[in-house]
Amino acid sequence: MEIRQYDQSDEVAWVRCRVLSFLDTAYFDHVLQKKETYGNPAIELVAVEEGQLIGLLDIEYETKEGSVCSRGAGLGGMIWHIAVHPDFRSSGVGRQLLQEAERRARAENLSRLEAWTRDDLWVQAWYEKNGFIKVDSYLHVYLENGEAEASLTSDIPFLKPIHAFAHYVGADRERVKSKFNRVHECVCYEKKL
């Protein structure tokens, strides 16, 4: 397996790998049709085996403290995407991508990495196994099947909310979890470099 810099010619394979990797996670419906680009410098890596893109990792990083990451002190890097094709999971691909990204992050004088994920326990366990510490969380709330119409209003006549996605950052999480069918804890992990 080769870990290398992402190239624009990888975009279709990158998108496919990300979609397949997310299908059995709490992010199953967070589909991208093209690879994101970043306003700040980024470490963009892919893992390739026998010509197939099998993993990816994107970290946008700060040149000015607080410009990308949401917390912590010192220059940080935000892991926006990390994914391993389902056929290659549990073979060390994610760990190798992370190790190369950390090497490059240190070379850019970053002092920490930040990553946000949802409540997939196996994903959280991977972060913890790789030295990340849970430092924050809030709720991702999907309002579907009449929940949006019952909970939200619009000041525009004849505009009815049907589906909505919301962040809940308050303290009464149990109430929110009991009121809506699809609620995920969004967890922040941090790793010092």
pLDDT for the residue 42: 98
Nearest one of 58, 48, 55 to 81, comparing CA atoms: 58
Chain Cα centroid distance, residue 172: 25
pTM of the model: 0.93
Stated as kind and residue range, the H or E segment containing 126 is helix 121-129
- pLDDT computed for residue 115 by the predictor: 98
Position 11, amino acid: E
pLDDT tens over the chain, length 193 residues: 999 999 999 999 999 999 999 999 999 999 999 999 999 999 999 999 999 999 999 999 999 999 999 987 899 999 999 999 999 999 999 999 999 999 999 999 999 999 999 999 999 999 999 999 999 999 999 999 999 999 999 999 999 999 999 999 999 999 999 999 999 999 999 999 9
Give the pLDDT score at 73: 87
3-state class (DSSP) for residue 46:
strand
User: 3-state class of 102 per DSSP?
Assistant: helix
**CATH architecture of the domain with residue range 2-113:** 3-Layer(aba) Sandwich (3.40)
For the chain, how long is the longest CA-to-CA vector? 57
- Residue 16 to residues 44, 53, 85, 132, Cα–Cα distance (Å): 16, 9, 9, 27
Do 60 and 44 touch, CB atoms closer than 8 A?
A: no
Radius of gyration of the chain, Cα coordinates, nearest whole angstrom: 18
Determine the pLDDT at residue 7: 98
